[in-house]
Amino acid sequence: MNSNKNNENIIIEVKNLSKLYGANKVPAYEMMKNGTGKNEVAKKFGVTVAVNDISFEVERGKIFVLIGLSGSGKSTVVRCLNLLQKPTSGEILFEGKSILSFNKSDLLDFRRHKVSMVFQNFGLMSHRNVLENVAYGLEVRGANTTERVGRAMEMIEMVGLKGWEYKNISQLSGGMRQRVGIARALANDPDVLLMDEPFSALDPLVRQDMQFELLSIQRKLNKTVIFITHDINEAFKLGDLVGIMKDGQLIQIDTPEGMSSNPANEYVENFINSADKAQIYTVGHIMQIPSCLINSRDGANNALKQMRIHGVSSAYVIGDRLEFVGVLTLDNAVKVKSGDMNFNDSIIKGLPTTTEDTLISDLMPVAANAKYPIAVIGEGNQLKGIVSKAAVLSSLI
Amino acid sequence: MPEWFIKFPKEINFNIKDIIDNFIDYLIANWGAFFNGIKGFLKGFLNGVGYCIDRIPWWLLIVLVFFLTWKTSKKLGRAFLYSALLFCIGALGLWQLMNTTLTIIVASVIISIIIGFPVGVLVSSSNSLNKIIRPILDFMQTMPSFVYLIPAAMLLGLGNVPAVIATTTYALPPIIRLTSHGIRQVDTEVTEAAMAFGSTKWQALYKVQIPQALPTIMTGLNQTIMMAISMVVTCSMIGTTGLGQEVLISINRLETGRGFSAGISIVIMAIIIDRLTQGIMKDREVSDE
């Protein structure tokens, strides 16, 4: 990872965190520390090892994503960070201070001002309306009504729910409910947002909206986010750093690019392969060099010759500085030769183009309607390559 | 074949009757002042409640039932029906007796709430307490109701005061049980959210858990009221006045008509109270949505 990391920028540091459930967790933990395997310990003491010796650091203003299957312990980790769950052993430092040494009032203060949480099933209070839900954190910390309402209104507007302040929670759709959840978490102006699979309960389209919204909010407010998910696409889309968990252990922490190009083991590789490739692969990965290129000054005869040599039915026409002009089809070239058409008019212009770093998922709608392979252009309209419909589709398999 | 093989042997004989009797005797002999204190307090409380109920003009109560029914059920016909039924109790000449019965019910339910609600909240927060309290509640609910009459009458004498004790004892379990159950079944994430935003335990309880559990708690209250109504009739056996006594007298004198009048009045009372409390509950739930 980052060798030149700045320690001042580390907001949360987790060291050797373990969490066991069950009556005999302390002797069980001791035994595990002395090297006995997790399964053996679990069998002997009847305990569940939810989190097993994990360490990571989160930089201020970054999005750290923990990903894993259900039961991998990721939700337990995030609950340890605000002490909803008490770790069995290990250390959690917030801005250098150990949160495990907090007394009752320190802990309340920490939860009221420093961290807040967004829940998978929203965790909204159905007996309160939208405004009262958003203002809850301010209410328990003793803010006066003016401050409470003012701040809550501001947050509601930011998440796009203006006009819904006095509605009941049951009148809201899933996506709107989670917006309330996010507004509630932001109302306290915390340094860290803990998000426990916040978008898993939403349908895919709404989920994409919310991911986008989260990114734009994060960019605006520069909050540190610790985000839990089981969706690798979501993890790669949102995370500055992604940690992958299996059976309570952290297998690999890396940037999305680093992880996909350099998976730590087969498990990580399989996890990444399960990803919808369209969301991580860009056009640059799949584009080809067009076989049949002609210059706009060449004329129809040369074009026909080139097409015959390469055995294709269309040619890409470029200008002197390699700029993309259009496509000349075989039919049109024949018409030009027989004198039915002017060479310049025969070139089909105004076709859709794309760039190398476009996500394949974003190209899908264009590719679906394209008659010819789409031209990939760079600076100054320069033709870099082409992507065929077949290449787009096959990249998804 | 020896006799003990078929019939239970007389030689095996644990005499708990004497133990219980001795215990009660001991209580009467040594704790008399204490029970007199309770009796005095309950009598004062009962008189206070009775005073208030007796001051409500009969027509006002009918109008009140009309408007409450109308407001909670939004049905004009039902509102007319219930107020007409209430009017019938008066027409049967049983209004005053109904007031007496109502006084004991209201007093018992108030005491049940004062004891049951906090106990329910406590039980919800502790698994070990729950393990202790649950069998006690099961015991209280399965014990035939008139068994409570004996110690109540022994310790507090005859009349309306022991009726309040017996009725409270009998009606207490549902409110404890459903308060505890209601709080326990509040969505974990909602409780977690309350804690995650820095609520103290007390704030989480009264700002989130109790309001979220309210529909269940109200169901418990409704059951408590219904059980109180049924018990107050049984209490006539220890000289409690009111509609129950009217039924008991008619049984003794074989006056079928008199018994039915009182019986119907009790039914009307029960229906109106049940529907009104349920209506208020539904009204709250609807406004939630």
Q: Is the pLDDT of residue B228 over 90?
A: yes
Q: Give the residue-averaged pLDDT of B40-66.
A: 94
- Residue A279 is predicted with a pLDDT of 61
Q: Give the residue-averaged pLDDT of B271-277.
A: 92
Do residue B187 and residue A123 have CB atoms under 8 angstroms apart?
A: yes
Query: To the nearest whole percent, how much of chain B has pLDDT over 70?
Result: 98
- Residue A284 is predicted with a pLDDT of 76
Rounded CA gap, B192 and B167, in Å?
Answer: 38
Does residue B110 sit within a domain?
yes
Rounded CA gap, A68 and A40, in Å?
Answer: 23
Burial B154-169 (b: 16+ CB within 10 A, else e): bbbeebbbbbbbbbbb
Angle between helix A25-33 and helix A38-45 axes, rounded to 10 deg: 150
- Residue B285 is predicted with a pLDDT of 60
Per CB-CB distance under 8 Å, the chain A contacts of B185 are none
Q: Give the residue-averaged pLDDT of A145-174.
A: 93
What's the whole-number average pLDDT of chain B?
Answer: 90
Does residue B104 sit within a domain?
yes
**Which secondary-structure segment (H or E) carries A137?**
helix A136-140
User: Which residues, in sequence order, are CB contacts of A53 under 8 Å at separation 6+?
Assistant: A16, A17, A18, A90, A249
pLDDT band, residue B289 (cuts 50/70/90): very low
Tokens 């065929």 found at = A388
How many structural domains comprise chain B?
1
Q: Give the residue-averaged pLDDT of B87-93.
A: 94
Q: Is the entire prediction scored with pTM above 0.80? A: no
Does residue B87 sit within a domain?
no
Q: Is the pLDDT of residue A385 over 90?
A: no
Distances in Å between the Cα of A1 and the Cα atoms of A41, A75, A242, A261, A281 are 33, 24, 11, 14, 22
CATH classification code of A283-394: 3.10.580.10
Does residue B4 sit within a domain?
no
Rounded CA gap, B116 and B137, in Å?
Answer: 11
Q: Is the pLDDT of residue B288 over 50?
A: no
Q: What are the DSSP E strand ranges found in chain A?
A: 10-21, 48-59, 63-68, 89-94, 97-98, 115-118, 192-196, 224-229, 241-246, 249-254, 293-295, 314-318, 324-329, 353-354, 374-377, 383-387
* Residue that wins the pLDDT comparison between B84 and A49: B84
Per CB-CB distance under 8 Å, the chain A contacts of B187 are 121, 123
Q: Give the residue-averaged pLDDT of B139-165.
A: 87
CATH label of the domain that carries residue B266: 1.10.3720.10
- Residue A3 is predicted with a pLDDT of 42
- The CATH superfamily of A60-83+103-275 is P-loop containing nucleotide triphosphate hydrolases (3.40.50.300)
Do residue B288 and residue A126 have CB atoms under 8 angstroms apart?
A: yes
Cβ contact A342:A299 at 8 Å? no
ipTM of the complex: 0.80
Chain A 89-128, residues with CB within 8 Å of chain B CB atoms: 108-113, 115-117, 119-128
Q: Give the residue-averaged pLDDT of A274-279.
A: 64
pLDDT band, residue A6 (cuts 50/70/90): low
Q: Give the residue-averaged pLDDT of A204-222.
A: 87
pLDDT band, residue A272 (cuts 50/70/90): confident
DSSP letter for A48, please.
Answer: E
Per CB-CB distance under 8 Å, the chain A contacts of B200 are 108, 140
Q: Give the residue-averaged pLDDT of B247-257.
A: 92
Do residue A127 and residue B196 have CB atoms under 8 angstroms apart?
A: no
Range of the domain at B224: 16-55+92-288
Does residue B63 sit within a domain?
no
Distances in Å between the Cα of B203 and the Cα atoms of A99, A234, B18, B269 are 22, 35, 50, 38
Q: Is the pLDDT of residue A278 over 80?
A: no
For chain A, the domains span 60-83+103-275, 283-394
